[in-house]
Structure 1
Amino acid sequence: MNLANKITIARILLIPVFILFFPIYPEWLISKSEFFLHIDTYGIYYAAALFILASATDKLDGHIARKYNQITNLGKLLDPLADKLLISAALILMVGEQMIYSWIAVVIIGREIIITGIRMVASSQKIALQADQFGKIKMVFQVVAISAVLLNHRPLSFLTAIPVDQILMYVALASTILSGANYIKNNYRLLQ
């Protein structure tokens, strides 16, 4: 297994750690444990840091794969899967904590399921579909928006009352819809 794929797998393994640090624990557990009390108070910052770190590995593994000619079919499968798992986990947890509206998560995760379905059909026909430039831009917007929501609009909240985190989430939503439509349009003929 090459270095690029190891980094992608590390990103997948960071997802349960991200979930562990997300402050979603019941009050009875928080009151009985210093660890969970600490997580309840500061866990969101740890979770945000882990989310940003895991997201940054996406750029790193892609760079290494291209630079050292380590592009593999396993990498083509795992890289987008890791992204979808990380984004979906964050969105589901944020909905549970009422940080975002559930319909936003449904649209974003729904788009990812549709694109994954298209990739699976293509794969069954021995066609490997890679993410296009719009998909990469969409991922950047999603990471920035989720990070901003996790940090509850900090440090921008000290500068402005404008809910930049929520605005970024709507930008991420729009880019998700547009990139999905573009992906379907560009790959429709290949799948007929």
Structure 2
Amino acid sequence: MKCMSLSNSIPNIITIGRILLVPVIVWAIASNEMAIAFAVFVIAGVSDAVDGFLAKRFNMSSELGALLDPLADKALLVSIYVSLGIWGAIPRWLVILVVSRDIMIVGAVIISWLFGKPVPMKPLMVSKLNTVAQVGFAAVVLGALGFDIEPAPYDLILMISVTLLTLVSVSLYLIEWTRHMSTIEPRR
């Protein structure tokens, strides 16, 4: 059994800490403590940057980290979008779009795994841009609610960006997945 040194697990510990911040942000939004939600969201964002920097710069990356980091990002963003949608701060159709995209991607990965044709996990550039837009939109909404700041026109620009990038991203992933899965031989 290969043992991971403590120094190599530091980015993973930071990532697990980010996952543990998710219920705090959900609580803050549900309790109308938007300034707290914004502050915790900023802490989560900084922790994401720190664990990524440590993993890359000091060669502390691991297989566990490669799985945990996107899980932490998705848990954080989906939780914030659902909470803000329930609270009425962002349109519910946008919440449905963002969450549905992630469900479709996870479902496609599971189906390909069940068929013995695992899909290589490599994020597309449009998905990275989508994540940036999602983070930016969440930050603007939380900041506006937490500090009584007028978010216009940034909220609208970011909402349109999230919508378009989410649609393009899920379309490209589904096209790639369909190509990948089309090589499966029918059972006889």
TM-score, normalised by the number of residues in structure 1: 0.77
Once structures 1 and 2 are overlaid, which stretch shifts more, 109-118 or 68-77?
Answer: 68-77
CA RMSD of aligned residues (A): 2.4
1:169 counterpart letter in structure 2: M
Q: Please tell me the residue identity of whatever aligns with 1:44.
A: M
Tell me the equivalent position of 2:163. Answer: 173
* Partner Cα distance (2:125, 2:86) in 1: 31
Structure 1 window deviating more from structure 2 (139-148 vs 45-54): it is: 45-54
Distance 1:182 1:58, change over 3 A: farther
Q: Which residue identity lines up with residue 69 of structure 2 in the other structure?
A: D
Q: Give 1:95-134 correspondences, 5 Å limit.
A: 95-123=85-113, 125-134=117-126
5+ unaligned residues in a row in structure 2: which ranges?
183-188
Partner SS for 2:144: coil
TM-score normalized by the length of structure 2:
0.78
Alignment of 1:45-124 (within 5 A): 45-123=35-113
Cα distance 1:4–1:187, how it changes in 2: closer, same or farther (>3 A)? farther
Please state how far the C-alpha of 1:9 moved relative to its aligned partner: 0.9
SS at match of 2:51: helix
Match of 1:19 among 26, 36, 42: 26
Q: Given residue 134 of structure 2, which amino acid in structure 1 is its aligned partner?
A: Q
Q: Given residue 21 of structure 1, which amino acid in structure 2 is its aligned partner? A: A
Q: Which residue of 1 aligns with 2:129?
A: 137
